[in-house]
Structure 1
Amino acid sequence: MKFDLDTAWKDTTGLLSRNRGLLAVIAGVFFFLPYAALAIALPEMGDLEAAQASGNLDAMMGAINDLYASYWWVYLILAIVQGIGLLAMLALVRRRANPTVGQALSTGVKSVPTYIAAQLLQTALFAIVAGLLIGVGAVTGLPALAVLGGVIAFVVVCYIVTKLSLAAPVIAIDGELNPIRALQRSWALTRGNSIRLFFFYLLLLAAFVVLSIVISLVLGLAFAIAGEQAALLGEAVISGLLNAIMIVVIVCVLAAVHTQLGRLSDNPDATTED
């Protein structure tokens, strides 16, 4: 049986409905507060937002490089904290033993080294694949081949991202603490359903982008009316809020997809109906 988008969305909304209170608390502590505090504490974040608003790619990349060069250690801490929160939420919504919040957080702390290692391995794989595909076109000196290589690299990276998207739930829910085996398990679970899964993710991403734009415009205008300082504070609050909402939805989506594909993997003849 193939991956069913409708079943996955129903499972996602069911997880959101049953766990929204606990998920909101964890997302608030591990995502909203750190992200909003970072946006307020680092004045360079304003430069990055200005560069993004200008649409100047060179200015945006320069602002990103300056930010990470100056505060790499802050982002390392943030990555660890948010990794713990993500894994804890996954464990909370899908562990068969119905863990308490404390047990879920313990799972997050225990699993975060594996999660970070898996992320680093993915990043290295993306860099190698993209570098090879783009480099081959660039070496020829033909702009058309360089552009074609870039397009192919983008498609291949999207494919790999989809194939490895279930590494986090494999780590948090299945308890796999070997990063290589977690990536292998994700690859195996998505076999035969990669294209369907990609478009499911793409539809959700498009919906979230539209929703975030609307929320940012409405709330941003409300804060802007109160003055410049209120507008700066509002940007930080809105960014943190959208980040927390996105993570909560991602957690439920990944848990639902992992459960459905796990069921199909264990029993290929099973239906996707509840």
Structure 2
Amino acid sequence: MRLDLVGVLADARALWRRERELLVPIAGMFFFVPMLAIVLLLANSGFPGDATPEQLREAIAAFYEANIVAILAANLAIAFGSFTVLNLFFQGGGRTLGEVLGITLRRFLPYLAIYLIASVLFSFGLSLLVLPGLFVFGRTWLAAPSFAAMPEKGPIHAFREGWRRSAGFNWIVLLAAAMVTVIVAMLLIVVSSVLIGGLATLVEARVALVIGHVVTALIGGLAWTGFALLRVAAYRRTEPSIGT
């Protein structure tokens, strides 16, 4: 079945409306809190404002080296949260949030392997040319929901299933859906930065700065939630094509 962008976005919105009471605490704990930690680390990193590209690369490398444990912990939390959202829809079936978290914990290592392999392949593709990286992203993005839906078949089957479901033009739709989420998040950050800049004239600068950090982390949390919902929506939309 060929995906269409409007349909995937509409389905993701419907999923949010249906399960937002459970999605909010998941997003708050596993997306917002790690994003806030990363935002605070970046805010205190002391990146030079007028750095050359070489100086900026050196500053970023030094930042990762100094904060590697915190960055890894934040990424693990986000990965766990993404898998929790997938399990909420594919393994929920009337289960409580605690039971969904338990399922996520028991199956997290295989999911983490899928997450890491897909990330490495994506990075390798980008290092060659941009297009191969984007192609790999689109063709592997449904591996995670495939594993959440059929965990008993293992990670290898999940990659195969994700590859099948993203065949044809579907990978382009998946990439476009992800890009829409990124663009909306960036626009929200720009708009909020302007508004918070205006707020700084009314309140103490430190207060406006704290509000800015919190708002940025909220937008990041919403973006990660959106990514997970888009995966669920796209996987379900490709269901009729399997076995045909």
Q: What is the aligned partner in structure 2 of residue 70 from structure 1? A: 66
Classify 1:203/1:55 alpha carbon distance in 2 versus 1 (closer, same or farther; 3 Å): farther
Amino acid at match of 1:25: P
How many Å separate the matches in 2 of 1:227 and 1:180?
54
Offset, 1:91: 1.3
How many Å separate the matches in 2 of 1:216 and 1:244? 17
Aligned counterparts of 1:175 and 1:252: Cα–Cα separation in 2: 18
Alignment of 1:140-219 (within 5 A): 153-175=129-151, 178-192=154-168, 193-219=170-196
Q: In 2 relative to 1, CA 23–30 (structure 1 residues): closer, same or farther, beyond 3 Å?
A: same
Equivalences for 1:96-115 in 2 at 5 Å? 97-115=93-111
1:259 to 236, 239, 243: 236
Pick one of 47, 50, 57 that aligns with 2:45: 47
- Which ranges in structure 1 are unaligned for 5 or more consecutive residues? 134-152, 269-274
Where 1:238 maps in the other structure, the secondary structure is helix
One-letter identity of the residue aligned with 1:47: S
In the alignment, which residue of structure 1 is the partner of 2:208?
231
> Following the alignment from structure 2 to structure 1, what is the Cα–Cα distance between the partners of residues 221 and 16?
13
- Structure 1: distance between partners of 2:150 and 2:200: 44
Contact 1:170 1:176 in 2 (8 A): no
* Contact 2:35/2:217, CA 8 A, preserved across alignment: yes
The aligned counterpart of 1:89 is 85
Percent identity reads: 23
* Alpha-carbon offset, residue 59 of structure 1: 3.8
Alpha-carbon displacement from aligned partner over 1:85-135 (angstroms, at most 9, x marks no partner):
11111211343623321121112212322232223222332444455x4xx
Q: How many residues align?
A: 243
C-alpha separation in 2, matches of 1:109 and 1:183: 20
Structure 1 range deviating more: 85-94 or 58-67: 58-67
From the CA coordinates, give the structure whose radius of gyration is larger: 1
> Distance in 1 between the 2:73 and 2:180 partners?
31
Specify every segment of 5 or more residues in structure 2 that has no aligned partner in the other structure, as ranges: none
Structure 1 residue aligned with 2:8: 8
Deviation at 1:12, TM superposition (A): 0.9
Residues 3 and 196, structure 1, Cα contact 8 Å, conserved in 2: yes
**Amino acid paired to 1:118:** I
Structure 2 CA distance, aligned partners of 1:106 and 1:82? 16
Alignment partners' CA distance in 2, 1:212 and 1:11: 25
Q: 1:61 is matched with which residue?
A: 57
Q: Secondary structure at the residue paired with 2:110?
A: helix
Deviations 1:215-246 (A, max 9, x none): 33223542564233223322321221111111
